[in-house]
């Protein structure tokens, strides 16, 4: 039986999110003090050595990212916490911020010290106005006590555009523009917000930082899968008995998550598929459930860990109907900046709609595969690149569900 | 109701503050009046087309009138399979309007939304951003009485 391990959620239910004293009483802000007693390069090296990779989806080594910004000379640098969380099925960052906002602020301040930034932004999704209030109170308390030093944090609200979770689109949005991704390179750690070096990290990534600084890189590295150490916060939705949030070491398997924590499928029905990583993730059939959830193991089966959302479907679910709905999401959320995505998401949605309504023929599935593979390579940002993943993985593992729709 | 000019002007010195200003206007009016977009363009010293472009890019912001209480129904996949369509039907019946419309008395507007981050309790609706989870058709009437 697999067990939970709480690092990110270490204070869940133990601290009062609106009372900073309860955070300092459990050792909060000691990590920031320890970090400041180290040199910037030693600190960055420690984070790098821990093996922590970003929890926002791309899985880039966090310490390595910080070293890029540290290495650039600039009069101003920024730290941004990505709390946009627009991936359907995902609400882990909300849980972290609602329950333990100070751990996120502390992680950001440590990053600020490491790279030499005195200004931070939290870009919180517009649908979470109550979280914005919690964050603002937490920031006020931390500054009043002088715990953040000269590091300032401001909360900005997103406004309902999934693409703004993409880091360069997020930066555009903070600058007051439409949230359209930038061409890369240059990458934000070198040229980011208002042209200055900017670290964008996920909420869960920042919440890991104080624990790593406290307990050291070796401790962290020893947890979970070697290539993607630590834990991952997962949210379980769909046809699963326990719709809940859990935190497990990254060598836990998909099956363990479903059975040991999810409690199996609702109504005693059989499992059909699980989509991991949110709406842009791949669909996984029964035969692959013994795969560990870590980033590389998931990539190896053509799936993604992404945000860590588990969306479970039982045997009665119509895969094509679900994919049709998902393709509508992407057609709606495409920002329109590049053609393969702007046009591709629309055409993909049209074709799926046709399949769903019984108006498609066998050749259409090949067209969909062709379009999907072009999009995954030619789109400017991760939105368009990942949009075909649910289609492509279901065409691979659940093709019969499509052909059953043909007249 | 505070004048949108006052609300917007308060953000003049905030770098990139136009989106924050729009949020503040919408919080007061439940939408962004067209004139407020024109005014924001002046305050932030950008072309009107750009001020309009920003306001319309984001689905949480709405230019032009809508009802006092905005009801959004999540139709993302987890809410979809949990029966969001039944919730839509119940809301349309209860309010006597279709999705995208506003009741004649101006009290309610019905809108679709993508995931609002409450997927532990699908299907989900929000009323003025307040989430309601595990919504079923027969819970609708009771939920709405709070706002009538
Ligand atoms: C369309 C799209 C949406 C994204 N949404 C989010 C998000 O909501 N939160 C997040 O942390 N990262 C999101 N990302 C990933 C970010 O671009 C970026 O990789 C991440 O914030 C980096 O932080 P990390 O290294 O800590 O993961 C998204 C990427 C894409 C392409
Ligand atoms: S891939 Fe889609 S969302 Fe990304 S830049 Fe192109 S059009 Fe915009
Ligand atoms: S999928 Fe509906 S609230 Fe997340």
Distance to chain A for B28, nearest Cα, Å? 14
C-alpha distance across the termini of chain A, in Å: 46
Which domains are assigned to chain A? 20-221 (3.40.50.11540), 225-314 (3.10.20.600), 319-403 (1.20.1440.230)
Distance to chain A for B72, nearest Cα, Å? 11
pLDDT above 90 (res B111): yes
Pairwise CB contact (< 8 Å): B117 & A245: no
pLDDT per residue as tens digits for the range A261-297: 999 999 999 999 999 999 999 999 999 999 999 999 9
Q: Round to whole Å and give the CA distance between A330 and A389.
A: 11
Q: Round to whole Å and give the CA distance between A14 and A271.
A: 35
pLDDT per residue as tens digits for the range A147-164: 999 999 999 999 999 999
Pair B49, B74 in one domain: no
Which of A173, A310, A176 lies closest to A237, judged by CA?
Answer: A310
- Nearest CB neighbour to A162, from listed B22, B114, B129: B114
Pair B76, B52 in one domain: no
Ligand 2 touching residue A202 (CB < 6 A): no
| Position B21 in a domain | yes
Ligand 2 touching residue A331 (CB < 6 A): no
Q: Round to whole Å and give the CA distance between A290 and A284.
A: 11
Pair B52, B75 in one domain: no
The range of the structural domain enclosing residue B102 comes to 69-145
Distance to chain A for B76, nearest Cα, Å? 6
Are A230 and A250 in contact, with CB atoms under 8 Å apart?
A: yes
| Position B41 in a domain | yes
Q: Round to whole Å and give the CA distance between A301 and A344.
A: 25
Q: Which residues lie across from A312 on neighbouring strands?
A: A238, A274
Q: Round to whole Å and give the CA distance between A188 and A167.
A: 8
- Nearest CB neighbour to A127, from listed B80, B82, B116: B116
- Pairs across A and B, CB distance < 8 A: 120
User: Which of A88, A92, A93, A235 to mutate for ligand 3's pocket (most ligand atoms within 8 Å of CB)?
Assistant: A88
Ligand 2 touching residue A163 (CB < 6 A): yes
Q: Round to whole Å and give the CA distance between B73 and B114.
A: 8
* Helix ranges, A71-189 (H): 92-99, 101-115, 129-144, 167-174
Angle made by CA atoms B119, B123, B124, in degrees to the nearest 5: 75
Q: Round to whole Å and give the CA distance between A16 and A23.
A: 7
Q: Round to whole Å and give the CA distance between B119 and B49.
A: 36
Split into its structural domains, chain B has a count of 2
Bridging pattern class, strands B125-127 and B69-74: antiparallel
Whole-model pTM?
0.97
Banded pLDDT at B148 (limits 50, 70, 90)? confident
Pair B141, B73 in one domain: yes
Are A89 and A329 in contact, with CB atoms under 8 Å apart?
A: no
The residue among B36, B57, B78 that closes a domain is B57
The set of protein residues with a Cβ atom below 6 angstroms from ligand 3 is: A 88-89; B 74, 76, 78-79, 115-119, 122, 124
pLDDT above 90 (res A137): yes
Angle made by CA atoms A288, A292, A297, in degrees to the nearest 5: 85
**pLDDT for position A2:** 85
Percent of chain A's residues with pLDDT above 70 = 100
Pair B30, B85 in one domain: no
Which of B92, B109, B90 lies closest to B101, judged by CA?
Answer: B109
| Position B30 in a domain | yes
The lowest-confidence range among A91-95, A239-243, A361-365, A402-406 is A361-365
pLDDT above 80 (res A168): yes
User: Which of B88, B121, B124, B126 to mutate for ligand 3's pocket (most ligand atoms within 8 Å of CB)?
Assistant: B124
| Position B36 in a domain | yes
Pair B106, B132 in one domain: yes
Q: Which residue of B has its CA nearest to A332?
A: B114
Q: Which ligand is nearest to the CA of A346?
A: 2
| Position B122 in a domain | yes
DSSP annotation of A126 reads T
Tokens representing A384 are: 């368009």
Q: Which residues lie across from A228 on neighbouring strands?
A: A225
Ligand 2 touching residue A323 (CB < 6 A): no
Banded pLDDT at A138 (limits 50, 70, 90)? very high
**Residue B106: other Cβ atoms inside 10 A:** 13
Q: Which residues lie across from A200 on neighbouring strands?
A: A80
Q: Round to whole Å and give the CA distance between A337 and A335.
A: 6
Q: Round to whole Å and give the CA distance between A6 and A85.
A: 21
| Position B64 in a domain | no
Q: Which residue of B has its CA nearest to A274?
A: B78
Pairwise CB contact (< 8 Å): A178 & B20: no
Q: Which residues lie across from A274 on neighbouring strands?
A: A284, A312
Pair B88, B128 in one domain: yes
Pair B49, B93 in one domain: no
The residue among B57, B77, B99 that closes a domain is B57
| Position B43 in a domain | yes
Residues constituting chain A: 407
Domain of B82, CATH number, reads 3.40.30.10
pLDDT per residue as tens digits for the range A300-315: 999 999 999 999 999 9
3-state secondary structure of A216: coil
Pairwise CB contact (< 8 Å): B77 & A156: no
DSSP annotation of A261 reads I
The set of protein residues with a Cβ atom below 6 angstroms from ligand 1 is: A 54-58, 60, 82, 84-87, 162-163, 165-167, 200-202, 205, 381-383
B74 annotated as ligand-binding: yes
Distance to chain A for B93, nearest Cα, Å? 23
Radius of gyration of chain B (CA): 17
Nearest atom, ligand 1, residue A168 CA: 17
Q: Long-range contacts made by residues B129-133, C-beta under 8 angstroms, separation at least 24?
A: B129/A127, B129/A129, B129/A130
Pair B9, B35 in one domain: yes
Pair B53, B74 in one domain: no
| Position B62 in a domain | no
Pair B77, B137 in one domain: yes
ipTM: 0.96
Pairwise CB contact (< 8 Å): A332 & B44: no
Radius of gyration of chain A (CA): 21
Bridging pattern class, strands B130-132 and B125-127: antiparallel
Mean pLDDT, rounded, of chain A: 97
| Selected residue of B19, B25, B56 to mutate for chain A interface (largest A Cβ count, 10 A) | B19
Pairwise CB contact (< 8 Å): B114 & A235: no
Which of B147, B57, B71, B63 lies closest to B116, judged by CA?
Answer: B71
Q: Ligand 1 center to residue A203 CA distance, Å?
A: 10
Q: Give backbone dihedrals phi and psi of A51, rounded to 5 degrees, phi first.
A: 80, 5
Pair B36, B80 in one domain: no
């Amino acid at each position: 039986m697999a067990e939970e391990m709480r690092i990110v959620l270490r204070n869940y239910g133990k601290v009062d999110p609106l009372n900073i004293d309860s955070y300092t009483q459990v050792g909060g802000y000691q990590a920031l003090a320890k970090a400041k007693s180290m040199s910037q390069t030693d600190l960055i090296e420690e984070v790098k050595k821990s093996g922590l990779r970003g929890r926002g989806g791309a899985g880039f080594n966090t310490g390595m990212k910080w070293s890029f910004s540290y290495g650039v000379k600039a009069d101003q640098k920024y730290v941004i916490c990505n709390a946009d969380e627009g991936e359907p099925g995902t609400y882990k960052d909300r849980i972290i911020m609602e329950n333990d906002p100070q751990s996120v602020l502390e992680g950001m301040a440590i990053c600020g010290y490491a790279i030499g930034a005195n200004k931070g932004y939290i870009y919180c999704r517009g649908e979470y106005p109550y979280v914005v209030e919690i964050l603002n109170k937490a920031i006020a308390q931390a500054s009043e006590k002088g715990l953040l030093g000269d590091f300032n944090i401001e909360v900005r609200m997103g406004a309902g555009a999934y693409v703004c979770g993409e880091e360069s689109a997020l930066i555009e949005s903070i600058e007051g523009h439409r949230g359209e991704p930038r061409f890369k390179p240059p990458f934000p750690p070198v040229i980011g917000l208002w042209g200055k070096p900017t670290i964008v990290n996920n909420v869960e990534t920042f919440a890991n930082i104080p624990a790593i600084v406290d307990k050291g890189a070796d401790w962290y590295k020893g947890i979970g899968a070697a290539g993607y150490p630590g834990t991952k916060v997962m949210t379980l939705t769909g046809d699963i008995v326990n719709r809940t949030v859990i935190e497990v070491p990254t060598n836990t398997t998909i099956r363990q998550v479903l059975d040991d924590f999810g409690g199996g499928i609702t109504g005693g029905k059989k499992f059909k598929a699980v989509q991991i990583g949110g709406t842009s993730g791949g669909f996984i059939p029964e035969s692959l459930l013994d795969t560990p959830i870590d980033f590389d193991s998931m990539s190896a089966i053509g799936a993604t860990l992404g945000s860590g959302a588990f969306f479970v479907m039982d045997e009665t679910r119509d895969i094509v109907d679900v994919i049709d709905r998902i393709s509508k999401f992407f057609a709606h959320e495409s920002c329109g900046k590049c053609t393969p995505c702007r046009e591709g998401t629309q055409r993909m949605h049209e074709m799926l709609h046709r399949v769903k309504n019984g108006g498609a023929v066998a050749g259409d599935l090949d067209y969909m595969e062709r379009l999907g593979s072009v999009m995954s390579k030619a789109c400017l940002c991760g939105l368009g690149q990942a949009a075909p993943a649910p289609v492509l993985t279901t065409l691979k593992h659940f093709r019969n569900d499509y052909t059953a729709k043909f007249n | 109701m505070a004048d949108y000019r006052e609300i917007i002007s308060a953000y003049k010195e905030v770098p990139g503050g136009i989106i924050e200003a729009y949020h503040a206007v919408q919080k007061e009016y439940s939408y962004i009046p067209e004139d407020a977009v024109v005014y924001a363009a002046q305050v932030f010293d950008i072309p009107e087309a750009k001020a309009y472009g920003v306001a319309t890019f984001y689905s949480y912001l709405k230019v032009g009138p809508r009802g006092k209480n905005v009801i959004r129904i999540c139709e993302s996949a987890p809410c979809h399979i949990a029966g969001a369509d039944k919730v839509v039907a119940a809301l349309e019946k209860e309010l006597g309007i279709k999705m995208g419309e506003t009741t004649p008395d101006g009290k309610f507007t019905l809108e679709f939304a993508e995931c609002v981050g409450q997927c532990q309790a699908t299907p989900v609706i929000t009323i003025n951003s307040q989430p309601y989870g595990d919504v079923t058709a027969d819970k609708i009437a009771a939920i709405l009485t709070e706002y009538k």
